[in-house]
Structure 1
């Protein structure tokens, strides 16, 4: 049993789900980092506030009037409610101690130090300390400030609070949560809308492709795509479908033409031979019928050979034998050989060669085939009198052979198709027999020799075809 086909996912769902997963992972990381940053910033700010509170109490106590409250009498006024300044539910632990650390007053009776402050707290140089208590007690931050006046130490103000209370926040986390959820929903909505706008035209193109596959070229695609790539996709697909429609119509027409071209000689040969066989004709007339049959047979054989040669070249099965040749000599010989086998009448053929010899690497036989085909086409395009001009030119790296005639030209609408296999123009198909393989075959042969065959210009006053060949540096010997 074959492997199970992987399940396909619609483009909109594919991108929406993956983007949602990506944004959730990203926002989760952002939320964790933000929460840690909020915790660190809150702890830092509240420690600064504790230092400020301690300094304020020291400032009040060094006043002569408040110094009398140092032993603890009427000491409740020393501990105002300051928890709201730190955005905390309750005030931190506040201690007032003498220089030896004996606690004189406290704002809450449940303080962890009974009677005396730890000597390590008073001896520490830093005003802010973090104490890690043993026995499962959570870490405690302590801020101490000395009560001094005129370099005389009267005691200490110590403020302490647990790390959990100092880092406890609600509003900031709530705002962070709302922001993260909002960004997630906004991002998901944005990618949903974008992917929907992107997937819709692609779905339309896919639907149109199925139509074309089924032979229906009458497709309808939107023209309002704003994305450049989507617009190019739609525009290119429309052009492709139109071209396919034209080629399909052309293929049907050309198949009928090829069938007709092959059927005509077969029918003619059959009728002529049947007449001879039945004794309808005899003597010289029968001999004439046999000669006509042989000519029709040769004509049909030529068509079949053209088909075989074209298919062989199209499949790269026929190699070319490249040799270094003088282009002037090649052109002169090709034109001469063609003229020998033609009845020119009022047709004039002029050849203009290069003043200096230039060499090319070509297959002489294949080059002769191209020249013969182009000269035949030029002759067929003209009614006598007429003129064919063969001109050899050169550029920096390329040599050109232009074949110009004074015929009626190729209609503008037919010019894009002249190198299509089996294509024959509207006028040519009724005047000249053949399969429409001459120009496509010649172009493939030229390209096989690293050159090309081009239609330079065609107007009602004449046509110019150009053979392009690469120039080589070595001199011809």
Structure 2
């Protein structure tokens, strides 16, 4: 039963929604910081402007004063002009006081009614910009800007400006511009991630659809070739190469299956015909005995092929054990080659063995190593026609590994077949008509070499001969 957890969403939707959510959170944080910064900056700037206006107004009033007068004389239109200069929705309350703090005039009639005087101690505060003490319970603070009206170092009065902080930090235009900027950035960011996600998701969707086609057995897929993104390019081309390789392997599998079937069918047909001839009395005596011997030989060959197939499958499934022990390299290889030579007809062949100058110790399974060596020696023997040379050369490398090279002077492996010699069930065109088998010798030998901690490689092959190399770790390195 499917649940919501099993539901999948497209890459385009996944990245777009999550990016938009992240972008919105980020922009909200930026907007909050920007608003706080704007408020702080506007407060400082407007306090500086108000301080400048208050000072300018005090100097203008002082310029009209006589030194003998106790209170400043005021031009009635001066304060009204400052309203136009500030150009604010709610201009600050501007008061002109005498030296004792009594309000003489204000820019607004209501301001005079609301405030008759200021504390002398407040006017004599050291700082000209300060928070005005008030009994009002409202959250907004009121800022006070004061400047003395001085004539020849004699203070005749004060210019006092009062304005709530909410008015100082209130700027609808700046907030409107900030909102437009945030919304624009959000839309541009969403558009950018949508375009990029779509550009990335499209080839991935095409690869996914191609994978479904490959799953159905259709390897003729079409994918775009030109991508600027390196990772997407690698993904698409790797998939195309994989599909081509699978197509080749599928064709090879069908061919090899037919070959294996033929290899097993041929001895069965031969055995059946020979035994039927003996049963029907077509042949008798010594000839019948010869037919039975041939049938037994064919049965032995078929049994060997089946055993090779079973052993290969067991080892590929890690079901075949490997028992490693310490052995002296020269002695072990010498014994293996000697045992192989005993069972071969080598009248026209020369086998040359080159051992290590100094005896070394190897930690390996002698039986598995013998299987590899005998398979390589048999292949080298089959590669030679009537006569030739097989060379076994041992060398210890600087990296602490032993190399056993098996060389023959045969005609070599065609270039087109060299990459396929370790493929299971593969048999070259020349070998499949000369030697019976399932094409498991080299793949099995490579699996054995890797199980022993080494490897088996085709070092070189040319019309002058072929060289396979077994690489194994030395125990005393």
Shift of the alpha carbon at 1:89?
Answer: 2.3
Offset of 1:82 from its aligned partner?
2.9
**Where does the alignment leave 5 or more consecutive residues of structure 1 unmatched?**
none
- When residues 297 and 171 of structure 1 are mapped into structure 2, their CA distance, relative to the original with a 3 A threshold, is same
Deviation at 1:64, TM superposition (A): 4.5
Aligned to 1:130: 131
- Corresponding residue number in structure 1 for 2:282: 280
| TM-superposed deviation, 1:170 | 1.5
Worse-superposed segment, 461-470 or 358-367: 358-367
Q: Deviations over 1:46-92 (max 9, x none)?
A: 11111111111221222255779985766314315234554512432
CA offsets, 1:92-114, max 9 Å, x none? 21111111111111111111643
1:281 deviation in Å? Answer: 1.1
Other-structure match for 1:423: 426
Range that drifts further, 86-95 or 234-243:
86-95
Rounded to whole Å, the distance in 1 between the matches of 2:442 and 2:378 is: 11
The aligned residue for residue 142 of structure 1 is 144
Alpha-carbon separation, structure 2, partners of 1:67 and 1:204: 93
Q: Distance in 1 between the 2:278 and 2:106 partners?
A: 140
- The 1:278–1:87 alpha-carbon spacing in structure 2 relative to 1, beyond 3 Å, is farther
Tell me if the contact between 1:81 and 1:91 (Cα under 8 Å) persists in the aligned partners. no
Verify the 8 A CA contact 2:90 2:167 in the aligned structure 1. no
Per the alignment, residue 388 of structure 1 pairs with 390
CA contact (8 A) 2:460 2:466 kept: yes
C-alpha displacement of 1:231: 0.7
How has the CA–CA distance of structure 1 residues 455 and 364 changed in structure 2, closer, same or farther, with 3 Å as cutoff? same
Conserved in 2, the CA contact under 8 Å of 1:92 and 1:160? Answer: yes
Matches within 5 A, 1:146-165: 146-165=148-167
1-side partners of 2:34 and 2:254: how far apart?
A: 70
Matching of residue 459 in structure 1 with residue 462 in structure 2: yes
Structure 2 residue matching 1:110: 3-state secondary structure: helix
Residue of structure 2 equivalent to 1:473: 476
* Residue equivalent to 1:244: 246
Secondary structure at 2:158 match in 1: strand
Counterpart check, 1:445 vs 2:448: yes
2: CA distance between counterparts of 1:182 and 1:251?
60
Change (3 A) 1:19 1:85: farther
Deviations 1:144-202 (A, max 9, x none): 11222233221111111122221111211111111111111111111111111111111
Secondary structure of the residue aligned to 1:391 is: strand
| Gap change, CA 1:254 and 1:100, over 3 Å in 2 | same
- Between 142-151 and 9-18, the greater mean CA deviation after superposition: 142-151
Q: Which residue of 2 aligns with 1:216?
A: 218
In structure 2, relative to structure 1, the CA distance for the partners of 1:336 and 1:73 (3 Å cut) is closer
Could you tell me whether the CA contact under 8 Å between 1:69 and 1:75 is conserved in 2?
no
Range moving further from structure 2, 219-228 or 133-142: 133-142
8 Å Cα contact 1:93/1:159 also seen in 2: yes
SS at match of 1:414: helix
Using structure 1 for the length normalisation, give the TM-score: 0.95
Query: C-alpha separation between the residues in 2 aligned to 1:67 and 1:46?
Result: 33
Structure 2: state its 5+ residue gaps.
none
Residue in structure 2 matching 1:344, options 341, 346, 352? 346
SS in 1 for 2:403: strand
2:71 and 2:99 in contact (8 A); partners too: no
Cα distance in 2 between the residues matched to 1:341 and 1:421: 27
| 1:330 match | 332
Aligned to 2:91, the other structure's residue is in SS state coil
Distance, in Å, in 2 between the alignment partners of 1:460 and 1:68 is 126
Contact 2:145 2:160 in 1 (8 A): yes
Q: Contact 2:71–2:156 at 8 Å: present in 1 too?
A: no
Deviation at 1:424, TM superposition (A): 0.7
Is contact 1:102–1:115 with CA below 8 Å preserved after alignment?
A: yes
Question: CA 1:363–1:90 in 2, change beyond 3 Å: closer, same or farther?
Answer: closer
Tell me whether 1:16 sits opposite 2:19 in the alignment. no
TM-score normalised per structure 2: 0.95
Distance 1:260 1:15, change over 3 A: same
* Alignment match, 2:100: 100
Query: Is 1:54 paired with 2:49?
Result: no
Corresponding position: 1:413 with 2:413 = no
Q: CA deviation at 1:31?
A: 1.2
Distance 2:233 2:366 in 1: 48
- Deviation at residue 349 of structure 1 after TM alignment: 0.9
Root-mean-square deviation (Å): 1.9
Which residue, 424, 432, 437 being the options, matches 2:435?
Answer: 432
CA contact (8 A) 2:61 2:72 kept: no
Tell me how far 1:139 sits from its aligned partner: 2.5
Query: Residues 359 and 104 (structure 1 numbering): CA distance in 2 closer, same or farther, change over 3 Å?
Result: same
Retained in 1: the 8 A contact 2:274–2:291?
yes
Change in 2 beyond 3 A, CA 1:2/1:54: closer
Q: Residues of 1 paired with 2:34 and 2:106: CA distance?
A: 36
